[in-house]
A and B are shown apart, each in its own frame.
Chain A
Amino acid sequence: MESTSNPSPSFDPDLIHAIYKHVWRKKAAELEKNNGASDVGAGPSRKNVIPSGANANALKLSCELLRQFVVEAVQRAASIAEAEGATTIAPTHLERILPQLLLDF
């Protein structure tokens, strides 16, 4: 439970950035597809909505958010596991805390 108090390692911003870019690329591709399908619906200005880069601080922040998310997930799952007397977190534990966790973030 106390593990998070330590300066815990966070995610690699590069990794996060790569993931972001991956998502953006997919989104952009999807958008284009949609635009191609229905040009009328999507305005021309929409095309540029998908960001193409993230500034370093934004990435840092994202990493921290993800870190918090993971920590919280683990801790909550751990509490469930603890209540069950289990020493390891099983997927089922995560499954249990997930809905609320997702809503909390």
Chain B
Amino acid sequence: MASTSSVPVHVIDDDDFDWEAAAIEIDNVRCGRADASTTNHSIPNVNANYFPPENDYGTSYSNHFKKENQKKFTNGKQSTLDRFIGKGSSSGVENVRGSSVSDGAGFSRNENGGNVVYNNDVDNNYDNHEGDSVEESICCVKLDHEAAKTWIYPVNAEMRDYQYNITQKALFTNTLVVLPTGLGKTLIAAVVIYNYFRWFPEGKIVFAAPSRPLVMQQIEACHNIVGIPQEFTIDLTGQTNPTRRAGLWKHKRVFFVTPQVLEKDISSGSCLVKQLVCLVIDEAHRATGNYSYCVAVRQLMAVPVQLRILALSATPGSKQQTIQNVIDNLQVSTLEYRDESDHDVAPYVHERTIELIQVEMGKDAVEINDLLVDVISPYVSRLGKHGVIQNRDVQTWSPHALLISRENYRQFKAENMPDTKKIEIEGVFGVLITLYHVRKLLSSHGIKPAFEMLEEKFHQGSFVRFVSRNESLIKAKLLMQQSVTHGAPSPKLSKMLDILLDHFKNNDSQSSRVIIFSNFRGSVREIMNTLAKVGDPVRATEFIGQSAAKTLKGQTQKIQQAVLEKFRSGKFNVIVATSIGEEGLDIMEVDLVICFDANISPLRMIQRMGRTGRKHEGRVDILCLQNFLACKGSELNGYLRKKSKNNTIKKHMRNGGLNSFVFHSSPRMIPHVIKPEVQLVELSIKQFIHRGKKVQADQLMHSPAPLTNLTNAETEQIAKYFSCMEENLWRPSLIAFPLFQSYPSRVHNVLHSSRTGMLIDAMQHLQESSLFKGKDIVCEDGSSSNPCAGEAVSQDDMKGSQTFSELPEKEAPEGNTSPMDTEPKLEPHGRCVKSPKVLFGSEFKSIEKLWRPQNLYVSKLLSHSSNNEISEIRCASTSKSCPDEKVFTSGLHNPDLHLEASSQSERIHLVPLSCNKSDEVDRTDGSPLSVSEGTHAVDDESNDCNYADISPRLTSFIKSGYVPESPINDFDISKSQDCASTSKLLTKLVNKLPLEGEYTKSYTCPTENISVDTVDQIERTVVDANNNLPQRCKSATSLDEPKTPMGQLSNFSSSNDWKLNSGEHFNSIEQPCKFRRLRKHGDHRKKLSLEKRGDTKTYRMFPGCDNQFRGDKKREKDCSIFIDEEAEVSPHVLMSEDDEDVPDTDSCDDSFIDDKIHPTGTSTQAEVGGVDMMAVYRRSLLSQSPLVEGRPSLTYVSPDSATPRSRSNEGSSTSRSERHSIQIIDAGPGTSARISRPLQLNSDRTCGYAILRSNLRTDACVESGKRNRSFYREGSLPAHNLEKEFLSASHSVERNPEPENQVEKPECDMFDDDDQFFASLDLDAMEAQAAQLLRSKAEQAEQMMQKNAISSDAPHPNLDIADLPTFDLGI
């Protein structure tokens, strides 16, 4: 044992470890263990407490882990070394569990020789020898290996070699640092703490200081040295209640505690001893006996826990033995001693003048002293006679010496004495001790304390019995009383005053600080009283302990803190302190210490002296006066004697005290493999914030700061606004700028929310209704206003964004419901156009959409980007189906449309929004007429190639038969729709437009033309419609149909520009449809079934297209998904529909025809009586709208879903709602239209429509038989157009009849029929178109097929779904 314990420090780094010695040692320890368990336990109970089995297991595991960790980095030898040396306090878990748990003898402590050895070590060693090294533990706290590669030494302040060297040592061994006061022990502690703080991220570090003021001082000092973040540090003193401390122990990492708190918390278990890695003990000389330091350390060693102990003291002890005790108690391995004379310390020691001022006792005091001596001498002689004490000069006796003598007497001589003598001698001893004490007081503190003591003693019986009749004593007492009442100052006091005043004369009373030490509180009070009289430069306060004496109340620690604080800040410049002020107070400015009594221990004298001479910044050497006020005689002698004694102790501590003291092994804490290298770092340290102040600061931060930030006026303003909020909610005015609220405002970073979309929709709705109402009234009737409002949502959607508008347009044409859609849209638009639009839903929609976006968005730029994208998308989608259609449609319609569109678009662009409308109307009015004339020219201009190609084909088709015409019409419609969308897109990009136009051509030649025009879809559509109408009229053989449109056009134009436009458009669309149908009728009525199929297909296609468009616009991904889904669904649906359709068509031919006929009739009627028709339409729309809304949701589930996605992609929140509404509306109108149809059957013209349809159907049927799915797809695109046309036609018809008949009721009843009809019609139309396409263009068909296949697949599913749901609903 001796070897390890005595030279642990050396062994650590010693590779030549003596293995034999180690083995022997192990054996010895093992032998001794048995003894230990029996012999040794200073605190068995405590030990028992500290060995709870669970904890032991816990440590064993954690140790385990640690060990493994360590093994990675250590070779076997080093780990072995660790076992022997590195773990003086390591855990012997096995031991605890096995043998010692019950009796608490888990460790044995060999107190002989001051060596503490834990059998845990032995066990571990033993185990290791057996090959089981698992139990070895280094530390249960995780080590940060990265951090452990270095240790940090702050160079914020001047770097001192001795501090650096001591720190280096202290990091790896338990060290007792003995440094003279004021040389920076705290820095060493702080650096060690900081490095352990770094190395062990989870470790807890404790800094113990003996008093709360010191704790507070050290926490700040440590912070200022190494800047450990304050969130990790906490000071724990008795002030903090234990439960709170328990929490803090868990959460904080560096604790500044008083030893009592540490002891209590360790024994209560709230201190997480397992995580302790470092314990710093300040003022370590106190670690004697059962002081809390010792108990705490003992408890920690018993756990056991491995930790670094760093003990700090300036005065470890006055005797070799006491120092050894400290070393033992604190498990110190190394003693680092420096004193002022050491070469590395000397430069930093400030000159400290020690002046011994001898003060002559006052006259009174001398007199009293003499009297006292007179009193004393007989007693001394009496004792001397008895041989109890040595005979010597009465003057030299001291109370302490008498006490010792009495002890001796009691021990050795009392037995031989008779009882009476014993009593006498005891009495004399008592009297003598008292008298000497009085005399001591008299000499060192003045008469007053002495008198007070004497007075006190006179009240005690025993003393009075002996001395009551002593004249000398009575005389002395009287003398003392006299001098006290006269207030004669003691010579020491007066001398002290002189010194003080002299000091403050030479030094600034603000910056200079003086501490006056006195041993007795009585004299402190006296000094205070004296100083109080002095006044000005001296601002004195007392600084005493907190124990309450009889006469003087103690100071609570709070007061002590306050005193120190004020002393630091300069509010007081003199402190009169008892011994409490001797240790550790680090007050830089103290440049004078007055020791009022010199006869104290050298320890305390050093500490007292240490209170000064600390300031080492700036003015390095301040003259320090150390005045010892000592009376001649006993006090002086005592001082000199103790001073010499102190010197001998210093000799013991030289050379680390290796020769004089026995040290203990200590853990290295860090694996040997890791050799931390020093890193000199300038730490950035935040300003220390006192805990108490922090709270105040927070309060300041929060409450007053805002108040100061706000002026009264501001607060009033805020109050005003907030009171407004509370009482009457402030609302932004929607009336102020209604136009602005009906369009999404430009956004910067924050996109519009869905709510904004809703608002915009609502505003548009409202505005339209109002605007349209006026227009409507002007134009025709106010009846439409209501429907408009209902439908406004859809319109709003359209208006909301160009992209939106495009989408809805597409949707409308695409689906069977497209006509329905168009109707609602038209209605919402509310403009004169609406009524006409109703007839040609798709066109109107497109027109409206175009108009609105244009009008609404004064700046076309906004939409350009989106439009372009959309246009591209559309182009792609359309391209697939386009070729076939192009051939058909391009011929007739394209040129006209192009021309018109271009002109219109230009106009629109030029003209303001409102102006655009009027212009467009005008244009449209003019266009229809002119369209027919200049169509060809336009074609040449805009789409020379496409149109030219298409036109001949179309012409050829036309020539060949009606079929071409019908497709053309269909195309026109679809084109108009497409054009609207495309035109929107195209408007901005002319270049792109041609491409789109081509694509659109494939779908619908007119659309292409329109797209080519690109300027305005609406205009184009109008133009197209007009063109189509005239063309159709021209081409068409049937006089009535062509005429009717013309008439309508004329009527519309006459009524209002808008009306005219719409009327024209509608007329044109209607006319073609009618023509087609009539033609078809004439040709093939039987083919209705085919047409139905085609229609359905086309419907499907349209939705798909819509979806695609939307998706493309918004997000390609969504589009693709939708398309895929649709594609998957579509084939099946198509198949099923086809099957169903065929029978339906067969069975329902008549009914269908009738229906169709009726609508046609209605349409014609509408044409004839334009104004009346408009009103009727509006009414019907109104009536329809509600119904539609209910239905659509069911029917167009899939489209809706697609639309929302696309809209969302677009970025406008409104998109979803808009689309939904649109779809719904579309569905609704469709249903209504269906319903209306049956009702309309009566009308004459309906027959014509029916005939037309039948014709188409027949054609389609023929074609359908030939067609494959691919064909269908191709056909489907044209079919869409057809469908639109049909729908529009039906709408027109419906509108007309609806007013007459109550739409709602019929609709409900008719739903099933309508749906079926619709489906059949659509299919037929689609088929017919497809057939036409096939016939006309075989070549293009192939290309188109592919494209169409894709596009058609996608749209089909939607159509199917829509249709099916409607059926279900109807049922």
Contact = CB atoms under 8 A, between A and B. Distances in A.
Interface in A47-105: 53, 68, 71-72, 75-76, 79-80, 83, 92, 95-105
Contacts of B756: 100, 103-104
Interface string B749-790: 111110110011000000000000000000000000000000
A80 B739 CA distance: 13
Contacts of B57: none
A35 B734 CA distance: 35
A18 to B, nearest CB: 3
A97 B734 CA distance: 10
Interface in A1-18: 1, 4, 12, 14-15, 17-18
Contacts of B859: 83
B732 interface: yes
**7 closest Cβ contacts across the A-B interface?**
A18-B706, A75-B748, A103-B755, A103-B756, A96-B740, A98-B732, A79-B746
A79 B743 CA distance: 14
B856 to A, nearest CB: 13
Contacts of A95: 732-733, 736-737
Interface in B933-954: none
Contacts of B753: 103-105
A79 B745 contact: yes
A15 B710 contact: yes
A71 B718 CA distance: 20
Given A14-B706, A95-B737, A19 B718 contact: yes
A98 B464 CA distance: 99
A18 B707 CA distance: 8
Which interface class (under 10, 10 to 19, 20 to 34, 35 or more) fits B? 35 or more
Interface in B683-734: 701-702, 705-707, 709-710, 715, 718-719, 722-723, 726, 732-734
B744 interface: yes
A76 B745 contact: yes
Contacts of A18: 705-707, 709-710
Contact of A104 (B701, B722, B752, B858): B752
5 contacts: A4-B748, A18-B705, A30-B726, A100-B744, A104-B755
Nearest to A2: B748
Contacts of A101: 745, 750
Given A18-B706, A68-B749, A76-B747, A96 B736 contact: yes
A50 B745 CA distance: 35
Contacts of A53: 702
B705 A14 contact: yes
B722 A23 contact: yes
A26 interface: yes
Contact of A22 (B722, B733, B740): B722
A99 B734 contact: yes
Contact of A99 (B709, B726, B759): B759
A47 B726 CA distance: 18
Contacts of B751: 104
B1053 interface: no
Interface residues of A, number: 34
Contacts of B260: none
A50 B1210 CA distance: 40
Interface centre among B715, B740, B859 (most CB of A within 10 A): B740
A102 B730 CA distance: 12
A100 B746 CA distance: 10
Residue among A71, A95, A99 having the largest count of chain B Cβ atoms under 10 Å: A99
Interface centre among B701, B734, B748 (most CB of A within 10 A): B748
Given A17-B706, A103-B755, A104-B752, 14 more contacts: A4-B749, A14-B701, A17-B702, A22-B715, A26-B723, A26-B726, A76-B747, A80-B740, A92-B736, A96-B740, A99-B734, A100-B744, A103-B759, A104-B747
Contact of B745 (A19, A21, A97): A97
Contacts of B707: 18
Given A99-B732, A99-B759, A80 B747 contact: no
B1097 to A, nearest CB: 42
A104 B750 contact: yes
A15 B702 CA distance: 10
Contacts of B709: 12, 14-15, 18
A26 B725 CA distance: 11
Contact of B750 (A12, A19, A68, A80): A68
Contact of B759 (A14, A92, A100): A100
A31 B1185 CA distance: 46
A7 B756 CA distance: 28
Determine which residue in B702, B733, B745, B751 has the highest number of CB atoms from chain A within 10 A of its CB, and name it.
B745
B741 interface: yes
A105 B752 CA distance: 9
A53 B734 CA distance: 36
B237 to A, nearest CB: 29
Given A95-B732, A103-B753, A21 B741 contact: no
Of B733, B750, B753, most buried by chain A (CB within 10 Å of CB) is B750
B718 A22 contact: yes
A63 to B, nearest CB: 14
Contacts of A14: 701-702, 705-706, 709
A69 to B, nearest CB: 8
A4 B722 CA distance: 28
B752 A76 contact: no
B745 A75 contact: no
B210 to A, nearest CB: 38
Contacts of A76: 745-748
Contacts of A102: 732
Nearest to B737: A96
A71 B719 contact: no
A83 B726 CA distance: 36
A96 B706 contact: no
Of A75, A99, A100, most buried by chain B (CB within 10 Å of CB) is A100
B732 A72 contact: no
Contacts of A103: 752-753, 755-756, 759
A71 B741 CA distance: 20
Contacts of A105: 750, 753
Among A1, A72, A75, A97, max chain B CB count under 10 A is at A97
Contacts of A23: 722
Nearest to B723: A26
A99 B755 CA distance: 10
A100 B737 contact: no
Contacts of B737: 92, 95-96
Contacts of A1: 748
A102 B732 CA distance: 9
Nearest to B734: A99
Contact of A100 (B718, B748, B752): B752
Given A100-B759, A100-B760, A103-B753, A72 B748 contact: yes
Nearest to B747: A76
Nearest to B752: A104
Most B CB within 10 A of own CB, among A14, A23, A92: A14
A34 B530 CA distance: 66
Contacts of B718: 19, 22
A31 B720 CA distance: 19
Contact of B747 (A19, A21, A72, A96): A72
Contacts of A4: 748-749
A4 B760 CA distance: 27
A100 B749 contact: no
Contacts of B745: 76, 79-80, 96-97, 100-101
B858 A83 contact: yes
Contacts of A96: 736-737, 740-741, 745
Contacts of B740: 80, 96-97
A83 to B, nearest CB: 7
B1229 to A, nearest CB: 30
A17 B702 CA distance: 8
A80 B858 CA distance: 12
Nearest to B741: A99
Interface centre among B702, B706, B722, B737 (most CB of A within 10 A): B706
